[in-house]
Amino acid sequence: MTDLTGRVALVSGAGGSGIGRGTAQAFGGAGATVIVTARRLDAAEEAAEEIRTDGGTAHAVALDTSSSESCRAAIRAAADLCGRLDIVVHNATHGLSASVAPIDDIDAEWWDSQAAVSLAGSFYLAREAFPHLKASDAGRLILFTSLRGVAGLDPNPAYAVQKAAVRGMTRALAHEWGAYGITVNAIAPAALSKPSLDYFAAHPEARAFVEAVIPLKRMGDPRRDVGEAIVAIAGPAGQYLTGQTVVLDGGLFSAT
Which long-range contacts does 24-28 make (Cβ < 8 Å, 24+ apart)?
24/48, 24/51, 24/58, 24/227, 25/50, 25/51, 25/54, 25/56, 25/223, 25/227, 26/223, 26/227, 26/228, 26/230, 26/231, 27/56, 27/87, 27/227, 27/231, 27/234, 28/54, 28/56, 28/57, 28/58
Domain count, the chain: 1
Residue 29 lies in a domain: yes
Residue 112 lies in a domain: yes
Active-site residues, by number, are 159
Residues 99, 202: Cα–Cα separation, whole Å: 10
pLDDT per residue as tens digits for the range 67-99: 999 999 999 999 999 999 999 999 987 666 666
Residue 17 lies in a domain: yes
pLDDT per residue as tens digits for the range 20-53: 999 999 999 999 999 999 999 999 999 999 999 9
Domain that holds residue 39: 8-255
Query: Which residues lie closer than 8 Å to 163 by C-beta, 6 or more apart?
Result: 118, 144, 145, 146, 148, 149
Q: Is the pLDDT reported for residue 212 higher than 80? A: yes
Residue 3 lies in a domain: no
Note the pTM of the prediction, 2 decimals: 0.92
CB neighbourhood size of 2 (10 A): 20
CB neighbourhood size of 176 (10 A): 13
Torsion of CA 61, 74, 156, 162, to 10 degrees: -160
Residue 84 lies in a domain: yes
Give the residue with greater pLDDT, 217 vs 114: 217
Residue 177 lies in a domain: yes
CA angle 153, 226, 54 (to 5 degrees): 145
- Say what angle helices 108-135 and 157-177 make with each other, to 10 degrees: 20
Residue 2 lies in a domain: no
Taking a C-beta distance cutoff of 8 angstroms, is the pair 27, 232 a contact? no
pLDDT band (50, 70, 90) for residue 226:
very high
Residues 211, 249: Cα–Cα separation, whole Å: 11
Cite the beta strand spans of the chain per DSSP E. Answer: 8-11, 33-38, 57-62, 87-90, 140-144, 183-189, 245-248
pLDDT at 152: 61
pLDDT band (50, 70, 90) for residue 105:
confident
Residue 125 lies in a domain: yes
For residue 26, which of 42, 6, 45, 3 has the smallest C-alpha distance?
Answer: 3
Query: 170: domain CATH number?
Result: 3.40.50.720
- Out of 65-74, 148-157, 165-174, 208-217, pick the least confident: 148-157
